[in-house]
A and B are shown apart, each in its own frame.
Chain A
Amino acid sequence: AQSVTQLGSHVSVSEGALVLLRCNYSSSVPPYLFWYVQYPNQGLQLLLKYTSAATLVKGINGFEAEFKKSETSFHLTKPSAHMSDAAEYFCAVSYSGGSNYKLTFGKGTLLTVNP
Chain B
Amino acid sequence: NAGVTQTPKFRILKIGQSMTLQCTQDMNHNYMYWYRQDPGMGLKLIYYSVGAGITDKGEVPNGYNVSRSTTEDFPLRLELAAPSQTSVYFCASSYPEVRAGGPFEQFFGPGTRLTVL
State the A residues within 8 Å of B (CB): 9, 32, 34, 36, 41-46, 49, 51, 90, 94, 96-97, 100-103, 105-108
Instruction: Compute how far the CA of A45 lies from the CA of B90 in the bound complex, rounded to whole angstroms.
Output: 12
**What is the CB-to-nearest-CB distance from B113 to chain A, in angstroms, rounded to a whole number?**
8
**What's the nearest-Cβ distance from chain B to residue A35, in Å?**
12
Residues in B neighbouring A96, C-beta threshold 8 A: 101-103
How many residue pairs between the two chains, A and B, have CB atoms under 8 Å in the bound complex? 60
User: How near does chain A come to B62, taking the closest CB pair, in angstroms?
Assistant: 18
What are the interface flags for B18-57 relative to A under an 8 Å C-beta threshold, 1 for contact and 0 otherwise?
0000000000000101000000111101001010000000
CA distance A96 to B102 in the complex (A): 7
**Contact A107 B40, beta carbon cutoff 8 Å:** yes
Contact A42 B40 (CB under 8 A): no
Nearest CB of chain B from residue A50's CB, rounded to whole Å: 8
A43: shortest Cβ distance to chain B, in Å?
A: 4
Can you give 25 A-B contacts (C-beta < 8 A)? A32-B103, A34-B103, A34-B105, A42-B110, A43-B90, A43-B110, A43-B111, A44-B106, A44-B108, A46-B106, A51-B103, A94-B103, A96-B101, A96-B102, A97-B101, A100-B103, A100-B104, A101-B104, A102-B45, A103-B106, A105-B42, A106-B42, A107-B41, A108-B40, A108-B42
Residues of chain B contacted by A36 (CB below 8 angstroms): 108
Question: Which residues on B sit within 8 Å (CB–CB) of A90?
Answer: 42-43
A37–B72 Cα distance when bound, in Å, is: 25
Which A residues are in CB contact (< 8 Å) with B110?
A: 42-43
Q: List which B65-117 residues lie within 8 A (CB) of chain A.
A: 90, 92, 94, 97, 101-111
Q: Nearest 3 CB-CB pairs, A to B?
A: A43-B108, A32-B103, A107-B42
Nearest-CB residue, chain B, relative to A44: B108
Q: Give the docked Cα–Cα distance between A87 and B58 (Å).
A: 27
The docked-state distance in angstroms from the alpha carbon of A41 to that of B58 is: 24
A111 to chain B, nearest CB (A): 15
Question: B31, A105: Cβ atoms under 8 Å?
Answer: no
Interface centre among B94, B101, B107 (most CB of A within 10 A): B101
